[in-house]
Amino acid sequence: MPLKSSSSKKTRSMLARFQDMDPGRRIETTGGALQENISPTAQNLGDDPIFSVGGDLAFNWGYTDNGCRIALTEGYLSEEHSNDDNTHGFGNDFHVDPKNGTFLHEAWGHEISNIQDCSWNDHLEQHNCGDVKLQGTDHGPNLQSGP
């Protein structure tokens, strides 16, 4: 069943929502989670990009040369012209053209990024965190696998 868009109230397919990359940056749901079921034995939830934050679904969240396919609004959503590498969720890329999905450098793609402060430090010309914390092994060669 297609979701109701919070911005246009039209019914659109998931495919149409994911293809809407220019301009992207859309909040696609309202009211938060409809249902939540977390196992009592689940581990490492404190920085999980879905279970440690709440809110509505944000799709195609592009900012400077970075992008996140799915994030939650109660996590951090970077300003459009901010190069802070701080929007974390599913389908993440650093150094990409987020409006057309073109990789500028394939070494920085990663599927699931934990909630963390990885902001860019202009003075030092580097990230404030040494290693971006990821889940799993689906990522570019410049990043390390996580739990």
DSSP state of 146: B
108 or 67: which leads in pLDDT: 67
122 against 113, higher pLDDT: 113
Of the pLDDT bands very low, low, confident and very high (cuts 50, 70, 90), residue 43 is confident
Q: Give dist(CA 1, CA 8) in Å, integer.
A: 17
Q: Which residue has the higher pLDDT, 87 or 3?
A: 87
| pLDDT tens figures, 14-38 | 999 999 999 999 999 999 988 888 9
User: Which whole number is the average pLDDT over 46-74?
Assistant: 93
Residue that the structure tokens 């696998």 belong to: 145
Q: Give CA–CA dist 10/4, Å, rounded.
A: 6
CA distance linking residue 116 with residue 118, whole number of Å: 6
pLDDT at residue number 1: 43
Q: For residue 40, give both structure tokens.
A: 């009592």
**Which residue(s) pair with 90 in the sheet?**
70, 112
Contact indicator for 69, 59 with CB cutoff of 8 Å: yes
Q: What is the DSSP letter of 2?
A: P
Quote the CA–CA distance of 27 and 35 in Å, as a whole number: 18
CA–CA gap between residue 137 and residue 83 (Å, rounded): 24
pLDDT of residue 128: 59
Q: Which residue has the tokens 């069943």?
A: 1
Tell me phi and psi for residue 108, to 5 degrees: -110, 5
